[in-house]
């Protein structure tokens, strides 16, 4: 039997793929009525199946099983920016997921991925051991024999067969304790040699600086002219093409105890013509887009639907401006900045951005 934790997730995935309705209900005594508020809701109907929103699922965030309410709410905000999503979670008292967790969940729900690293099926099937299975079979056979006198008479002339495993086992008990002792010594030796091997490996193959790509479009709200002030100082200023560095390159300095020194110096470019080796694309950790497909003409993957399944994508726009439909279809995270002098949210936006980028860097091997 499939446990309810994974069953509810599969029901939600089925709704996401086949676009079946997701209906919320609130309980008032024995009566359930539809509601648009997930905070007030107690149950959810996924297709033809109904579940309690507070039941735990097999989806884990930071090693903690999450409620169906948190997972459904995350999916309902699939196209929302990470900042708007987190703000609503805070207002409603619902657990929020980080960018990478949210993205991987959405990718699995829409069927673009066969598995999700944050889903753990906790169902344990109690399978009998080999000896128990044999005993059960023998017990059943003996029972049948006793029920039929003729079979019982024939069974008196049976001889137990011996397979090759029983023959090789022999009749003497052998103590393999010495092997355990040898294994422990080997493990100690491996632990002692591991650090030096890692140091040698890093010395022979130093890691290159990670890369962020921004759009060269003059309409881009975040470009080489203002990305340094925004991501280093936590203050957004409008882009000014005349301030673009002639080198076509900006270096971001981001201190972090989680990252090696190389990862704390990040290159930002808006032109990929210099990417004449595959290793350059291996170093890319994020891509900023304005929603114009021509930006990707010379990229490793020119189709944005494929590109943003392999690289984290970001779209910067002003608070209140409509989001282009393409952005919602490309699996890109939105970053909403305020207009004018309202700059108090900038530091929070930048903090969340670096948190997600650090996770990407650690997954690429830049962690300490």
Give me the residue spans of the domains in the chain. 4-109, 211-363
Distance CA 52, CA 77 (A): 20
pLDDT exceeds 90 at position 153? no
pTM above 0.85, yes or no: no
pLDDT tens track for 126-137: 444 444 444 444
Distance CA 280, CA 283 (A): 5
Instruction: Write down the pLDDT at residue 185.
Output: 80
pLDDT exceeds 90 at position 186? no
Distance CA 127, CA 104 (A): 32
Rounded average pLDDT over 335-347: 88
Phi, psi at 267, each rounded to 5°: -80, 140
Task: Place 199 in a pLDDT band, splitting at 50, 70 and 90.
Answer: very low
**Two structure tokens written together for 292:** 């114009």
Task: Place 176 in a pLDDT band, splitting at 50, 70 and 90.
Answer: low
Task: Place 311 in a pLDDT band, splitting at 50, 70 and 90.
Answer: very high
pLDDT tens track for 86-115: 999 998 999 999 888 888 898 899 988 888
Task: Place 336 in a pLDDT band, splitting at 50, 70 and 90.
Answer: very high
pLDDT exceeds 70 at position 148? no
**Burial readout 240-269 (b: 16 or more C-beta within 10 A, e: otherwise):** eeeebeeeeebebebebeebbeebbebbbb
Q: What CATH superfamily classification does 211-363 receive?
A: RNA polymerase II accessory factor, Cdc73 C-terminal domain (3.40.50.11990)
Instruction: Write down the pLDDT at residue 124.
Output: 37
């Amino acid at each position: 039997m499939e446990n309810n934790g994974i069953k509810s997730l599969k029901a939600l995935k089925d709704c996401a793929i086949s676009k079946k309705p997701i209906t919320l209900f609130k309980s008032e005594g024995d009566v359930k009525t539809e509601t648009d508020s997930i905070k007030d809701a107690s149950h959810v109907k996924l297709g033809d199946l109904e579940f309690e929103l507070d039941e735990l699922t097999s989806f884990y965030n930071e090693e903690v099983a999450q409620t169906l309410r948190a997972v459904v709410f995350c999916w309902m905000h699939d196209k929302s920016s990470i900042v708007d999503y987190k703000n609503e979670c805070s207002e409603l008292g619902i657990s929020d997921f980080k960018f990478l967790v949210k993205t991987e969940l959405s990718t699995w729900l829409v069927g673009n991925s066969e598995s999700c690293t944050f889903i753990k099926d906790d169902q344990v099937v109690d399978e009998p051991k080999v000896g128990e299975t044999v005993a059960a079979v023998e017990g059943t056979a003996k029972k049948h024999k006793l029920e039929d006198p003729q079979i019982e008479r024939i069974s008196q002339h049976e001889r137990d067969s011996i397979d090759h495993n029983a023959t090789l086992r022999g009749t003497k008990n052998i103590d393999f304790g010495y092997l355990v002792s040898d294994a422990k010594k080997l493990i100690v030796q491996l632990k002692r040699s591991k650090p030096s091997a890692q140091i040698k490996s890093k010395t022979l193959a130093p890691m290159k600086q990670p890369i962020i790509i921004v759009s060269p479009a003059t309409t881009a709200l975040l470009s080489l002219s203002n990305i340094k002030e925004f991501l280093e100082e936590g203050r957004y200023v409008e882009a000014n093409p005349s301030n673009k560095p002639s080198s076509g390159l900006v270096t971001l300095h981001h201190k972090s105890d989680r990252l090696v020194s190389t990862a704390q110096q990040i290159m930002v470019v808006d032109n990929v013509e210099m990417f004449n080796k595959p290793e350059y694309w291996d170093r890319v950790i994020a891509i900023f887009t304005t929603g114009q497909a021509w930006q990707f003409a010379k990229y490793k993957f020119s189709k944005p639907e494929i590109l943003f399944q392999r690289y984290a994508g970001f779209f910067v726009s002003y608070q209140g401006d409509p989001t282009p439909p393409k952005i919602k279809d490309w699996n890109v995270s939105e970053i909403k900045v305020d207009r004018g002098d309202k700059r108090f949210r900038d530091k929070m936006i930048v903090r969340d951005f670096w948190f997600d980028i650090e996770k990407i860097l650690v997954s690429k091997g830049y962690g300490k």
